Each structure stands twice: as C-alpha cells, then as structure tokens.
C-alpha cells in the first residue's frame, strides 16, 4: 500500500507537486480529478501522463457544477463521500497531501482522514492575500452551508488554510502570518518555500537580460479583463498611455477567460495595430515575460516570476479588491491606486527602476530561500509525517 496520497484538484497543483514527487522516497499514489469535472483546468490526467507520473481516477464519474441546485449538490456530496471512503480503504495511506483545503472534495478527504487516523498536509497553492474572505458579503446560502458543514456535509468553499489539516507548508513568512490570522496555530505551520518555483528559479539564472530597442510591456490579464466598466476603462487608459510612450504592448488573455483576441480588438476598435498585440492560446506567459521590460497585472503570481527576472511590475491595486497584493512596504513594485494614476505610474515604470535588493527582499518573504530546494524540503517534511 502507498504511504502517501497526493490529491491535485487542478493542473496548478500538478505543477506544485511535481517537484515534491522527485524527492519522495516512499511509495505514493496520485488521484486524477478528471472524473469529477469536465472543465479544462481541473483535468489533471493529461498533465500527469506528460510528466510520466502514474495515477488512478476516482472510482466513478461524478460531475459537478457551480450551477447545481441544492438537492443536486447534496446528491453529489454523498456520491463523492462514498468515493473518498473507497479510495482511502483501497490505498490506506498514512499521509494525504493537498494544495486546497477549502474545496468541498478536500473537506471530505480531511474529515474522513481524521476518522481513520490519517494525517493531512496542505501545500500552499498560490499567493495568499491578506484580506481574502474577510470582506466578502454574506448571503443566506452561506448560513445554510455553514449549518450543513457543522453536521459534516460540505457543499461550498470555506476559508483557505482554516479547514483543519494537521500541517500546513507555506512559501514564506508573509503567508505564515496570513494563515495564522485565519486561525491555524503557529506549530502547525512550516515555511519551506514554494515547490512550483524550484525549476523556474534555476532556469531564470540562465536567462540573459532583455535588450529591446523599444520597451515592451506585457499585460497578463485576469478573466475579468472586460467584466465591468472599471476594467474596460483601465484597458482603454492603458492603451492610451502606451501610445503616448511609443512602446509595444502585449495583452495576454487569461486561458480560462471567455474572451478571444478578436473580442478585445473589436471592443476597443484598435484595428490590430502593430504596437498592440493581443494573444491567448499558443504563447507561454513565461516566454513572453522573458522578452518584456515591464509586467502589468492586477493580482497574479506572475508578479513573482517578473521580480525574479528583475522586471518592473505595475499592479492595478485599485481593481483587485480583497485580492490586492499588499507590497507597499517593500518599494519593489509600482502600484496604481486609482484610475487617475494609470498614465503616471506607467510612465514611472519606464523611468524609475525599482532596486533589485527590494525585489529580492520581497521574494524571500514570499518564497523563502530562493534556492530551488522547496520541493526537497516539502518532501522531507511529508516523509517525517509518515514515520
């Protein structure tokens, strides 16, 4: 039987776990999420196969959707609970490794694990924002789900990092402080760095500094790029600024967004100008970032990749809401705090480069040692939980 069970609930989790797999000495099993959702980002099987990682599926197809009725969610919950019980009995692991603890599936695994004396460890999934979940409006359904969860019925997402895993492995001290504020005791939290960035840290060391005759700005857009007037105005003012600076702008649409490049060209009526390039599929964001001078985003982990390359980062903080990145004390990024500041901050990003020391200090607080060994430390910690 496997000693360790990994539960990647989306493709990002596979990227996080792969650098732990390389360092695990015990036998382990991986569960693919493919039979639980048909959406692309949750289909982990292809990625696991590409990486040469063996896996097993959930025992049956149990597709779920955010649009399911309460009755359908209840039916799905009991189906998934039975599947989880089957998996735990079949594999009988000593430790379960997750990158999400607030998804209903993860909550079922954690609850059932406690009943069987199986330890659980949460690996930090992405950047943690200080105010996420704290300012969200409460709806009647939230109270219903809260009552149901009291009786062990999990139908909705909860607060990340507060669902009762035995141990939580985080990237750095910034995440440690946020997780502690969400209710996890300090002794449950261990700083190891972020395994997803191990290979990237080593790869970035070999990348030559960019030297563009004309500056290149990369806007890594979120799925909300044109969701409301505020986002549309940001995009319009961004393009207006870029034209004034005579630089090249690449807009990288989010792969899970519904918009296509043609939608943005038509909305803004910019007729595929040479100075503006809109991309969605077929271009790796990391490769685009390598040739950019400045990254523009709202609230994304790509900020860390840009800082590792000593790029200038412009963050639309006023658009991020509770997901804003609170990096003010580091003086490592250029933050836009209102619509009126867009032009000035974009111009400043060209003329006023933030110091590498400030960027490195921020990175250490988010990603610990930056030595490419986070996966190794995480694997060692998980193995000690088995003993």
Domain ranges for the chain: 4-194+371-386, 203-367
**What whole-number distance in Å separates Cα of residue 59 and Cα of residue 17?**
22
pLDDT value at position 135? 53
**What whole-number distance in Å separates Cα of residue 378 and Cα of residue 329?**
29
Please return the burial class of 96, using the count of CB atoms within 10 Å of its CB with bins 0-12, 13-18 and 19+. Answer: buried
pLDDT value at position 345? 94
Query: Residue with structure tokens 């025992």?
Result: 59
Render the burial of 152-168: b for 16+ CB within 10 Å, e for the rest: ebbbbbbebbbbbbbbb
pLDDT value at position 139? 60
pLDDT value at position 159? 86
Phi (first) and psi of residue 206, to 5 degrees? -95, -5
**What whole-number distance in Å separates Cα of residue 300 and Cα of residue 81?**
33
Q: What's the CATH code, domain 203-367?
A: 3.40.50.2000
pLDDT value at position 147? 81
| Packing angle, helices 70-91 and 104-115, rounded to 10 | 40
Residues of the chain scoring pLDDT < 70: 1, 132-143, 271-274, 282-283, 387
Are residues 20 and 97 in contact, defined by beta-carbon separation less than 8 angstroms? yes
Secondary structure (DSSP) of 161-177 = T-S--SEEEESSHHHHH
Name 120's bridge partners: 96
**What whole-number distance in Å separates Cα of residue 31 and Cα of residue 13?**
12
Are residues 11 and 39 in contact, defined by beta-carbon separation less than 8 angstroms? no
Q: Where are the alpha helices (DSSP H) in 227-355?
A: 229-245, 261-268, 285-290, 302-308, 317-320, 342-351
CATH number 2.60.40.1930 is the correct assignment for the domain at 4-194+371-386: no
Name the pairing type of β-strands 167-170 and 56-57.
unpaired
pTM (two decimals): 0.89
DSSP 282: B
In this chain, the answer to whether the domains covering 4-194+371-386 and 203-367 adopt an identical fold is: yes
Query: Residue with structure tokens 């449950």?
Result: 188
Instruction: Spell out the residues 6+ positions from residue 359 whose beta carbon is closer than 8 angstroms to its own.
Output: 307, 310, 330, 332
pLDDT value at position 201? 85
**What whole-number distance in Å separates Cα of residue 199 and Cα of residue 131?**
30
**What whole-number distance in Å separates Cα of residue 106 and Cα of residue 8?**
10
**What whole-number distance in Å separates Cα of residue 116 and Cα of residue 128?**
30
Phi (first) and psi of residue 7, to 5 degrees? -125, 80
């Amino acid at each position: 039987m496997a000693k360790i069970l990994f539960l990647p609930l989306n493709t990002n989790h596979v990227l996080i776990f792969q650098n732990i797999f390389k360092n695990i000495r015990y036998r382990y099993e991986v569960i693919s999420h493919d039979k639980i959702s048909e959406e692309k980002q949750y289909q982990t099987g292809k990625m696991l196969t590409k990486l040469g990682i063996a896996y097993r599926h959930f025992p049956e197809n149990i597709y779920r959707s955010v649009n399911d009725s309460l009755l359908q969610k209840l039916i799905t919950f009991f189906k998934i609970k039975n599947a989880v019980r089957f998996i735990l009995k079949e594999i009988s692991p000593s430790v379960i490794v997750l990158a999400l603890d607030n998804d209903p599936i993860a909550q079922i695994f954690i609850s059932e694990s406690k009943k069987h004396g199986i330890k659980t460890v949460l690996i930090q999934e992405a950047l943690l924002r200080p105010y996420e979940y704290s300012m969200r409006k409460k709806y009647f359904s939230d109270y219903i789900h809260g009552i149901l969860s009291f009786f062990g019925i999990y139908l909705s997402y909860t607060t990340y990092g507060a669902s009762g895993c035995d141990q939580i492995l985080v990237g750095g001290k910034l995440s440690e402080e946020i997780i502690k504020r969400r209710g996890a005791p300090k002794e449950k939290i261990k700083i190891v760095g972020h395994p997803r960035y191990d290979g990237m840290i080593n790869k970035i060391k070999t990348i030559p500094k960019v030297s563009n005759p004309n500056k290149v700005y990369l806007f890594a857009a979120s799925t909300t790029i044109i969701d409301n007037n505020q986002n549309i105005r940001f995009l319009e003012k961004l393009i207006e600024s870029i034209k004034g600076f005579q630089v090249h702008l690449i807009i990288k649409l989010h792969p899970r967004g519904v918009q296509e490049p043609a939608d943005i060209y038509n909305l803004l009526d910019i007729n595929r100008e040479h100075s503006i390039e809109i991309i969605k599929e077929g271009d790796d964001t990391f490769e685009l970032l390598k040739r950019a001078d400045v990254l523009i985003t709202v609230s994304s982990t790509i900020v860390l990749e840009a800082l590792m390359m000593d790029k200038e980062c412009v963050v639309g903080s006023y658009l991020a809401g509770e997901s804003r990145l609170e990096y003010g004390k580091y003086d490592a990024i250029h933050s836009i705090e209102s619509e009126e500041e867009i032009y000035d901050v974009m111009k400043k990003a060209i003329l006023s480069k933030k110091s590498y020391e400030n960027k490195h200090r921020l990175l250490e607080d988010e990603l610990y040692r930056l030595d490419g060994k986070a996966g190794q430390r995480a694997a060692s910690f998980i193995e000690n939980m088995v003993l």
